[in-house]
Amino acid sequence: MNEPAAAGRLLAATRQWLAQRRQDQGLRPYVVYAAALLILGLFAVILRDDGFLTASNLLNIGRQAAPIAVMAVGMTFALAAAEIDLSVGAVTALSSLVAAEAVGSYGFVAGAGAALAVGAGIGLVNGLIAVKVRIPSFLVTLGMLGIVSGIARNMNNLQSLPIRNDTFLAIFGAGSAGPISSLLIWTVVVGLIGHLVLHQLRWGRHVLSVGADRSAAAALGINTDRIRITALMTSAAAASFAGVLLAGRLAIGRHDLGENLLLTVIAAVVIGGTNLFGGRASVAGAVAGSVVMAMLNNGLILMGLRVADQLIARGVIIILAVALSMREQKET
Amino acid sequence: MTAAAAALEVEGLCKSFRAVRALDQVALSLHYGRVTALLGDNGAGKSTLVKCISGVYAPDAGVVKVDGVVQAIASPETARSLGIETVHQTLAVIDPLDVVENLFLNREHTRGGRLGAWLGVLDKKRMRAESNEILGRLDIRIPSLRRQMSALSGGQRQAVAIGRAAAWGQQIVLLDEPAAALGVEQAGRVLELIRSLRGAGVAVLLITHNMDRVTEVCDRAVVLRQGRKTAEVNVGDVTKDDLVAYITGARTGDPDPEAERAGSDP
């Protein structure tokens, strides 16, 4: 036992680990973390005079990433099942209003509960129509996007609904445990639950199976209808919870809170290694992808890009991410 | 045939897809410890018959009996709960899942008591151990149980699919072209697997286009042609050429020749 031999063994073990990962599932799941570090480093250098790397800005990025990440975790399950949920942004907005309304009358538990119930209900309707009427979820949820946006606009006549319940605000947004914002805690909690559900629960494995090969899953006796419906309920409920977090952070419910997050969320999930067409999913990747998207948003703003140019930049990034994801799929 | 009770009996099975009669009054019986070949040209209705028995399709008419009891096999889950396991032509393996997950898909062990069972908390350790045991018993070698199916070779994927059917199919196993696209050695191993299933008393139905396999491993052969059963023979009584003649329609065999439709050849 001498030191060079030990170092050699360590190197060999590392190489073997990498080779094993590559054989077992490919290195694609790790791309998002490399991308996150790359973008962090890039902005740290480019924007070093604009305060990108300050503690307050990083905390800001974290707070912006929270609702994206919560929605992305839910969307991961929809995509894993080979469905898609385009209604999530609208559901987030409506949920912020529902939460604000219910908090005012019945307290903070009812506020969050009502929002989640509305989300799960919308997801249930999405799922039932997609499965029973056999309309692609793409179209069902596109229609639902319009319906829910309209309802949100009608609900308080385009006015913000203020939230004055301090408990609600502390738990779901403005509060913090020591230096750690409650938004970050919720992000970690939702991400952890999502990861465990995907990997440790039968339902998570069945969602992935249905998304990978629906007829094979059906031939093995899996109730594919139930899986698809519950996957769409999960994405909508997660979007509702994102609405609760946005309402908590801004102390209002409003008809457009989170409404424009749809594309950001899809990009975050796909960058994170989830296949847009089902069968491959990563919750941890979706959370990391959300941080990437929040960093990009933040960095583009600090770089002084106008809103119009930010939109263009985000669109280009989404197309690149999806292109990468599809190339990967063809190779395997 | 001896008087041993039939594991599976199919009578008068009909199935149409719009104007196409895929199955027309088909009868079939499988017996414990016997291998029955299901032969026929492409489009003869072999896979449709398997799918009707395994609950993928609902037949339009006809009766399926398991152990002499009439069963309505409304779903693949029903078929599996009756001890009928199927290896479909497409294998029905799930690419992004690993070997263990595929072997136990929809048959998962859970841990954590009643709450764990309700939530579906997977007992991965137990499933991995049992997978090792299952694959060992069937002498199926897979480099790593944690490997995703998409990273396995065609032969290994087939082996996992057959291993799954063999592991759960305590009574009846239906194999739809299980050795298609396999190398000589791997195909040989599939035959060994079928023999060991037969040895364990399982009733096996084997769809194949390979007459060598029929003569090597099958006891009976049923021939379908254009959705109708045109022959049912003891494999020991006929030659490979006879079987081919039945399949192409050059000859018709045993069951009720008068039911034969005149001029049904294309």
**Which one of A195, A209, A230 would you mutate to disrupt binding with B, by most B Cβ within 10 Å of its Cβ?**
A209
Q: Do B75 and A24 touch (CB under 8 A)?
A: no
Distance from CA of A179 to the nearest CA of B (A): 34
Q: Do B76 and A219 touch (CB under 8 A)?
A: yes
Q: Which amino acid is at B61?
A: A
Helical packing angle, A88-106 and A137-155, nearest 10°? 40
Mean pLDDT of all residues belonging to chain A: 90
Q: Which amino acid is at A254?
A: R
Distance CA B251, CA B231 (A): 9
Q: Residue A68 pLDDT > 60, yes or no? A: yes
Tell me which residue in A20, A208, A332 faces B97 most closely, judged by beta carbons.
A208
Each domain of chain A, given as residue ranges in start order, spans 28-331
Tell me which residue in B80, B108, B147 faces A202 most closely, judged by beta carbons.
B108
Torsion of CA A168, A172, A177, A181, to 10 degrees: -140
Residue partners of A283: CB distance under 8 A and separation at least 6 = A73, A76, A191, A194, A195, A197, A198
For residues B185 and A70, the model is more confident at: A70
pLDDT tens readout for residues A278-322: 888 999 999 999 999 999 889 988 988 888 988 888 788 778 866
Query: What pLDDT, on a 0 to 100 scale, did the predictor assign at position B181?
Result: 64
Query: What pLDDT, on a 0 to 100 scale, did the predictor assign at position A69?
Result: 98
Q: Does B45 fall in a domain?
A: yes
Which residues of A fall within a CB distance of 8 Å from B86? 219
Q: Residue A331 pLDDT > 60, yes or no? A: no
**Other beta carbons within 10 Å of A9:** 11
Query: What pLDDT, on a 0 to 100 scale, did the predictor assign at position B262?
Result: 42
**Which one of B50, B81, B106, B175 would you mutate to disrupt binding with A, by most A Cβ within 10 Å of its Cβ?**
B106
Are A105 and A273 in contact by the 8 Å Cβ rule? The answer is: no
Tell me which residue in B88, B101, B108 faces A219 most closely, judged by beta carbons.
B88
Query: What pLDDT, on a 0 to 100 scale, did the predictor assign at position B258?
Result: 44
Question: In total, how many domains does chain B have?
Answer: 1
Q: Do A218 and B108 touch (CB under 8 A)?
A: no
Q: Do B101 and A205 touch (CB under 8 A)?
A: yes
Query: What pLDDT, on a 0 to 100 scale, did the predictor assign at position A13?
Result: 82
ipTM: 0.83
Among B residues 125-154, those touching chain A with beta carbons less than 8 Å apart: 144, 146-148, 150-151
Tell me which residue in B77, B79, B120 faces A201 most closely, judged by beta carbons.
B120
Average pLDDT over residues A212-236: 96
Residue partners of A182: CB distance under 8 A and separation at least 6 = A170, A171, A172, A173, A174, A175, A176, A248
Query: What pLDDT, on a 0 to 100 scale, did the predictor assign at position B257?
Result: 44
**CATH architecture of the region A28-331:** Orthogonal Bundle (1.10)
Q: Residue B188 pLDDT > 90, yes or no? A: no
Average pLDDT over residues B261-266: 42
pLDDT bin (cut points 50, 70, 90) of residue A276 is: confident
Q: How many CA atoms lie within 13 A of B23 on its CB side?
A: 26
Please indicate if any CB of chain A lies within 8 Å of the CB of B97.
yes
pLDDT bin (cut points 50, 70, 90) of residue B209 is: confident
Q: Does B104 fall in a domain?
A: no
Please indicate if any CB of chain A lies within 8 Å of the CB of B106.
yes
Q: Do B91 and A216 touch (CB under 8 A)?
A: yes
Mean pLDDT of all residues belonging to chain B: 87
Q: Do B120 and A202 touch (CB under 8 A)?
A: yes
Q: What is the CATH number of the domain that holds B23?
A: 3.40.50.300
Query: What pLDDT, on a 0 to 100 scale, did the predictor assign at position B250?
Result: 82
pLDDT tens readout for residues A259-271: 999 989 998 998 8
Nearest to A224 by CA among A232, A215, A233: A215
Which residues of A fall within a CB distance of 8 Å from B106? 206, 220-222
Least trusted range by pLDDT, from A10-24, A146-160, B142-156: A10-24
SS3 B158: helix
Nearest to B221 by CA among B207, B208, B233, B230: B233
Tokens found for residue A89: 């942004």
**Other beta carbons within 10 Å of A21:** 13
Tell me which residue in B76, B122, B148 faces A218 most closely, judged by beta carbons.
B76
**Domain housing B76:** 6-94+170-259
Are A261 and A71 in contact by the 8 Å Cβ rule? The answer is: yes
Query: What pLDDT, on a 0 to 100 scale, did the predictor assign at position B125?
Result: 96
Q: Residue A76 pLDDT > 70, yes or no? A: yes
Distance CA B12, CA B3 (A): 21
Q: Residue B37 pLDDT > 80, yes or no? A: yes
| Lookup result for tokens 């930049």 | A313
Q: Residue A67 pLDDT > 90, yes or no? A: yes
Least trusted range by pLDDT, from A21-25, A237-241, B19-23, B247-251: A21-25
SS3 B200: coil
Please indicate if any CB of chain A lies within 8 Å of the CB of B5.
no
pLDDT bin (cut points 50, 70, 90) of residue B259 is: very low
SS3 B206: strand
Q: Does B215 fall in a domain?
A: yes
- Percent of chain B at pLDDT exceeding 90: 52
Query: What pLDDT, on a 0 to 100 scale, did the predictor assign at position A196?
Result: 97
For residues B108 and A313, the model is more confident at: B108
pLDDT bin (cut points 50, 70, 90) of residue B115 is: very high
**Nearest residue of B to residue A202, measured between CA atoms:** B120
Strand partners, B17: B20
pLDDT bin (cut points 50, 70, 90) of residue A329 is: low
pLDDT bin (cut points 50, 70, 90) of residue B210 is: confident
Residue partners of A185: CB distance under 8 A and separation at least 6 = A177
Distance CA A272, CA B239 (A): 59
Q: Does B136 fall in a domain?
A: no
Are A217 and A210 in contact by the 8 Å Cβ rule? The answer is: yes
Query: What pLDDT, on a 0 to 100 scale, did the predictor assign at position A193?
Result: 98
